[in-house]
């Protein structure tokens, strides 16, 4: 399993817990500093263990992208592990020469890609990714390109950053990208914090984006595994794109496949210079530290990084008002599912707090959705078989969430049905819950119970893994623009009244503002058809069998293994096991050929 995925389960768990933290709890005591170059530094003392959780948050995510470079924020999550002038290479001069040659070849290959795109538009080819669709000149260039990639790999010292941390007691080195932020983090013994300062300042001032083009392919494989090869991945992607009409939340963090294959190094350099400048970064340190002493070390290493030449541009495209209900109706090899999304409000909006409490009333085993769909009607599953979306709800198959993003918001309600149930039945039961909340105030006892539950969740969350809970919760607010909201949000949620809950339910749950996705089981209630008739499974098999790069295939096998460990749905688990077996067989063939 590669470094990008080895802690992804824990990261996802943390982020799902973050989504369920609106209620009051302990206040975070933060010391804030600003460096001369505009970098923000936040420190939180916690002396339970002699360790420090250290992180750097970049205030950039997929919402800062534009068409043509979608997925570039997530691509940087990968590229920032490729090393620097001193980390990750045996010969930087030769390494640089090869990179320049690769860039020159890609310029020539892009000219051929323009020709192929024109052929695609005219119907002369069906898929630009089909090897048979490549022009003769492109194939010649690609052969030379691959030979340079092989040569460069002889110079690369794999995972040297991870090794440096590990041999000094560091752990949990990883990164994560979301709609509104990108974060890099590691846990270290407190007496090794200067190692973090040296390695990370070097990583941010002297990054070398080696393996840039091959890493784009790795991200495309990640997209195939996480979106295209799953029963409902592409349907859910369609639903998101339908819901977000005009804003840059229109695409998922992973990006569109055509963009992932065409992002240039020049575009990447410009994006980095804009969004990874110190004036767009926040360092957060949580653990056994003394802030006034440690800030001197931070300044020593990070003030040498110059401020960005220009400030990051504002995100100016707003989500346009919806003018009627939208529906996506689909079938898939899965249990029936229904989701209802409503446009709501952004982070820190006055109504966001009441909407978070409303989500708490609907979610959980004592929540109204569970009582209605699972206990009363018996039409929904109790636990979720798959958790692609980061809803709160402790793994339940019925859940609700107020997603307050930086620039807009959505209230999401979701349910997975049992066999022999139609998705439309789930949808209608959800409306029963919604209508009751619109017509009747929530009893004070129920309202207080929800606030108490969420308060306990937050207190427990703050104790996760020697400070990582604090780091994530504080960091997501800092990345959105104001870390103090981490303390303000719980206070505001605690002031929410039953009248507030009823008001926001009536304000935002309008019929002409809802977006509905229903997915029924393909081929009937029991999903007859099998893998042999599933085009996504067939494409995944074809893709694996056509792979020629053993290194990329090994990375893909790592991701397969990770997803297999997370999968609870029996049918999906069977498909993943088949794909894993085919991938391992192909890997043996490639290694035998070497």
Write the pLDDT tens digit of every residue in 356-400.
999 999 999 999 999 999 999 999 998 875 444 333 445 789 999
Please compute Rg for the chain using Cα positions: 25
| Cβ contacts of 568-574, under 8 Å, gap ≥ 24 | 568/383, 568/384, 568/385, 568/386, 569/334, 569/335, 569/385, 569/386, 571/231, 571/333, 571/334, 571/527, 572/230, 572/231, 572/334, 572/385, 572/386, 574/531
Angle among Cα 44, 45, 50 to the nearest 5 degrees reads: 125
> In this predicted structure, what is the pLDDT of residue 581?
85
Find the range with the poorest average confidence among 9-23, 200-214, 493-507. 9-23
Q: Categorize the per-residue pLDDT at 567 as very low, low, confident or very high, splitting at 50, 70 and 90.
A: low
* Percent of residues in the chain assigned helix, strand, coil, to nearest 5: 50, 15, 35
Residue 561 has pLDDT above 90, yes or no: no
Query: What pLDDT is recorded for position 242?
Result: 97
End-to-end CA distance of the chain: 22
Q: Is 70 exposed, middle or buried (0-12, 13-18, 19+ CB in 10 A)?
A: buried
With tokens 């943390």, the residue in question is 14
Torsion angle (degrees, nearest 10) of CA 498, 503, 508, 510: 110
Q: Of 333-337, 413-417, 549-553, give the lowest mean pLDDT range.
A: 549-553
SS3 350: coil
β partners of residue 340: 413, 516
**Is residue 158 over pLDDT 80?**
yes
Predicted model pTM: 0.83
**Separation CA 242–CA 244 (nearest Å):** 6
pLDDT digits (tens, 9 = 90+) for 170-195: 999 999 999 999 999 999 999 999 99
The single residue listed with the structure tokens 């990375």 is 555
Q: Judge whether residue 533 has pLDDT over 70.
A: no
Q: Is the pLDDT of residue 549 over 90?
A: no
Q: Is the pLDDT of residue 17 over 70?
A: no
Q: Mind listing the pLDDT tens digit for each residue in 73-120?
A: 999 999 999 999 999 999 999 999 999 999 999 999 999 999 999 999
pLDDT, tens digit, 9 for 90 and up, residues 325-339: 999 999 999 999 999
Compute the half-sphere exposure of residue 226: CA atoms within 13 Å on the CB side of its CA: 21
Burial call 267-290: b when 16+ CB within 10 Å, e when fewer? ebeebbebbbbbbbbbbbbbbbbe
Residue position matching structure tokens 């229903």: 518
> Bigger pLDDT: 131 or 341?
341
């Amino acid at each position: 399993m590669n470094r990008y995925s080895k802690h992804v389960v824990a990261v996802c768990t943390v982020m799902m817990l973050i989504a369920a933290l609106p209620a009051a709890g302990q206040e975070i005591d933060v010391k804030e500093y600003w460096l001369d170059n505009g970098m923000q530094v936040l420190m939180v003392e916690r002396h339970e263990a002699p360790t420090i959780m250290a992180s750097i948050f970049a205030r950039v995510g997929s919402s800062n992208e534009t068409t043509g470079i979608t997925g570039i924020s997530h691509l940087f999550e990968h590229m920032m592990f490729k090393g620097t002038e001193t980390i990750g290479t045996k010969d930087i001069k030769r390494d640089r020469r090869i990179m320049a040659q690769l860039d020159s070849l890609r310029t020539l290959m892009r000219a051929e890609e323009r020709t192929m795109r024109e052929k695609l538009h005219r119907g002369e080819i069906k898929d630009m990714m089909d090897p048979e669709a490549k022009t003769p000149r492109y194939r010649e260039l690609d052969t030379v390109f691959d030979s340079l990639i092989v040569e460069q790999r002889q110079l690369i010292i794999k995972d040297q950053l991870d090794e440096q941390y590990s041999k000094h007691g560091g752990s949990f080195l990883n990164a994560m990208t979301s709609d509104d932020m990108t974060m890099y983090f590691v846990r270290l013994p407190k007496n090794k914090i200067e190692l973090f300062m040296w390695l990370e300042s070097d990583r941010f001032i002297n990054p070398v984006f080696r393996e840039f083009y091959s890493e784009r392919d790795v991200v495309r494989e990640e997209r195939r595994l996480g979106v295209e090869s799953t029963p409902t991945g592409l349907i859910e992607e369609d639903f998101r794109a339908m819901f977000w009409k005009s804003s840059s939340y229109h695409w998922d963090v992973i990006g569109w496949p055509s963009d992932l294959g065409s992002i240039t190094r020049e575009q990447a350099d410009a994006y980095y210079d804009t969004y990874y400048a110190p004036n767009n970064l926040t360092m957060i340190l949580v653990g056994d530290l003394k802030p006034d002493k440690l800030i001197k070390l931070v300044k020593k290493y990070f003030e040498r990084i110059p401020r960005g030449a220009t400030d990051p541009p504002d995100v100016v495209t707003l989500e346009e008002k919806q003018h009627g209900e939208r529906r996506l109706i689909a079938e898939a090899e899965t249990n029936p599912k229904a989701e209802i999304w409503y446009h709501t409000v952004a982070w820190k909006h006055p109504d966001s707090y009441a909407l978070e409490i409303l989500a708490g009333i609907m979610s959980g085993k004592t929540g109204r959705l569970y009582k209605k769909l699972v206990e009363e009607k018996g039409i929904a599953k109790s636990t979720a078989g798959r958790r692609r979306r980061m809803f709160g709800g402790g793994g339940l198959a019925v859940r609700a969430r107020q997603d307050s993003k930086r620039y807009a918001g959505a209230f999401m309600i979701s349910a997975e049905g049992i066999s022999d149930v139609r998705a439309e039945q789930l949808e209608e039961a959800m409306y029963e819950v919604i209508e009751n909340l619109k017509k009747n105030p929530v009893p004070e006892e129920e309202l207080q119970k929800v606030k108490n539950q969420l308060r306990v969740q937050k207190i427990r969350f703050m104790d996760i893994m020697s400070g990582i809970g604090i780091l994530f919760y504080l960091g997501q607010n800092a990345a959105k623009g104001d870390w103090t909201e981490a303390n303000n949000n719980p206070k505001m949620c605690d002031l929410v009244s039953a009248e507030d809950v009823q008001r926001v339910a009536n304000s935002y749950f309008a019929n002409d503002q809802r977006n509905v996705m229903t997915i029924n089981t393909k081929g009937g209630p029991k999903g007859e058809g099998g893998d042999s008739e599933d085009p996504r499974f067939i494409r995944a098999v074809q893709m694996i069998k056509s792979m020629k790069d053993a290194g990329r295939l090994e990375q893909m096998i790592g991701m397969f293994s990770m997803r297999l460990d997370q999968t609870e749905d029996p049918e999906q688990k069977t498909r993943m096991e088949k794909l894993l077996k085919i991938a391992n067989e192909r890997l043996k063939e490639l290694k035998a050929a070497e």
